[in-house]
Amino acid sequence: MYLDNVLKMVKDKNSNEPEFLQAVYEVLTSLKPVIEKHPEFEKQALLERIAEPERLIMFRVPWVDDNGNVQVNRGFRIQFNGAIGPYKGGLRFHPSVNQSIMKFLAFEQCFKNALTGLPIGGGKGGSDFDPKGKSDMEIMRFCQSFMSELYKHIGQDVDVPAGDIGVGAREIGYMFGQYRKLRNAYEAGVLTGKGLEYGGSLARTEATGYGLIYFMREMLKANNLDIKGKTVIISGSGNVAIYACEKAQEYGAKVVAMSDSNGCIYDADGIKLDVVKQIKEVERGRIKEYANRVSGSVYKEDTDCRNIWKIKADIALPCATQNEINLEDAKTLVANGVMAVGEGANMPTNIEAIEYFLEKGVLLAPAKAANAGGVATSALEMSQNSMRYSWTFEEVDKKLDDIMTNIFKACQKSAEEYGLGTNYVAGANIAAFDKISKAMIAQGII
């Protein structure tokens, strides 16, 4: 009853925010057994508080393009929950960015960050700015304008942004430069994902993709399976997709397909990752180019980005964006024999598709847990900045591996405790909620 009332209240209050409602519904419904065990939550209005951001900042970002025209974008920072540490979460630059997408990402981030075991609260931000096709100078001017407002709201003990879609090392560099100029202080810990020359951490670039595969390894192991020899398809060809591919290949899997927002490539002999890196990381080009450079591979244009899920595979790794797997895609994947799905992107599987996978016994590694390696390594970057010291690649990678292994164990333990079998989706939500709710209750009604 309490849960139903809260879901209704959240729906009424945020009726024009479908992605946010989807994220809240997915988490809160999976907490049902926990809520039933704790009637005191209702008196504390705990769920109402957990579904309401602590602060939402929206601002104008004016900048001048190369033709001298003034452009105006909208900037966001959502500081969702700071109960267990400074707000932490990436910045997304993509034309689809709006308040609903920002809030869903910030909400999810709170749970993800709690799972890492590190002292970080949840936030997210970004802009509807489209970096595609912009010159380097346009990117710099945009980043400077964006930071000219954002700097008032962040700080190494307050809120620590990082990258996400459309925000990589180049953008973080420009934003850090502007922050440093405005603050007249070298506060390295204010942003993560920085270049190695000015406070970045080794292995941060690789962390989300590698972490996804470490989680997948543990999940398969717990079910007497192994990634070695498996056929894998990966959507996207950005930061998460590239490094998930690298680690999966290192573990002996055969990755046969990758994609971008225009289409997907299929290479029956296994994707040549050095070619993808050259196209995407160096040339900032389109994945289509791969088929021109690697004989025997094929490219398929794809306006709704779903062709990749028609390719037969044992393991599917959605690493592009939200809601990229719907029920129809899930049915195709299952019919083609998929045994495990690992969410590298945030909320890539819609609710019907999640339910279908679970019903069919597909092992599902949920984003909050499986892609937490990026933010965990960002927190390790913050630690190194505080210590004014750098760990080696191997040291950071080992810590990342340990964190991902512990996250899997926490999901498994919660799922077992509530008799949920291999439902790691609910397991992740319950384990994260346990930590956040205890911290919120301890701190009183604030």
Q: Are 121 and 86 in contact (CB under 8 A)?
A: yes
Among 17, 26, 206, 260, binds ligand NDP (CB under 6 A): 260
Distance of alpha carbon 123 from alpha carbon 434, whole angstroms: 19
Q: Does residue 345 interact with ligand NDP by CB under 6 A?
A: yes
* Residue (320 or 325) nearer to ligand NDP, CB: 320
Smallest separation, CB 344 to ligand NDP (Å):
6
Q: Does residue 127 interact with ligand NDP by CB under 6 A?
A: no
Stretch that binds ligand NDP, among 67-75, 178-186, 230-238, 404-412 (CB under 6 A): 230-238
Q: Does residue 321 interact with ligand NDP by CB under 6 A?
A: yes
Distance of alpha carbon 424 from alpha carbon 71, whole angstroms: 44
Distance of alpha carbon 405 from alpha carbon 277, whole angstroms: 28
Among 30, 73, 127, 208, binds ligand NDP (CB under 6 A): 208
* Residue (9 or 275) nearer to ligand NDP, CB: 275
Q: Does residue 165 interact with ligand NDP by CB under 6 A?
A: yes
Smallest separation, CB 222 to ligand NDP (Å):
23
CA distances from 252 to 212, 227, 257, 339, 401 (A): 15, 7, 15, 17, 18
Residue 420: closest CA among 412, 408, 431: 412
Stretch that binds ligand NDP, among 24-32, 181-189, 260-268, 417-425 (CB under 6 A): 260-268
Q: Does residue 350 interact with ligand NDP by CB under 6 A?
A: no
Residue matched to tokens 């209704």: 8
Smallest separation, CB 298 to ligand NDP (Å):
18
Residue 411: closest CA among 399, 420, 402: 420
* Residue (41 or 174) nearer to ligand NDP, CB: 174
Distance of alpha carbon 86 from alpha carbon 77, whole angstroms: 14
Of 88, 103, 124, 280, the active-site residue reads 124
Stretch that binds ligand NDP, among 56-64, 81-89, 161-169, 328-336 (CB under 6 A): 161-169
| Overall size of the chain counted in residues | 446
Residues 431, 248, 261, 124, Cα dihedral to 10° = 30
Q: Which two tokens stand for residue 91?
A: 């910045």
Q: Which two tokens stand for residue 418?
A: 């509530």
Q: Does residue 371 interact with ligand NDP by CB under 6 A?
A: yes
- Decide if 37 is catalytic: no
Can you give the C-alpha Rg of the chain in angstroms? Answer: 21
Q: Are 250 and 264 in contact (CB under 8 A)?
A: no
Smallest separation, CB 422 to ligand NDP (Å):
23
Chain residues binding ligand NDP by CB under 6 A are: 163-166, 208, 236-241, 260-262, 305, 319-321, 344-346, 371, 374
Give catalytic residues, as residue numbers: 124
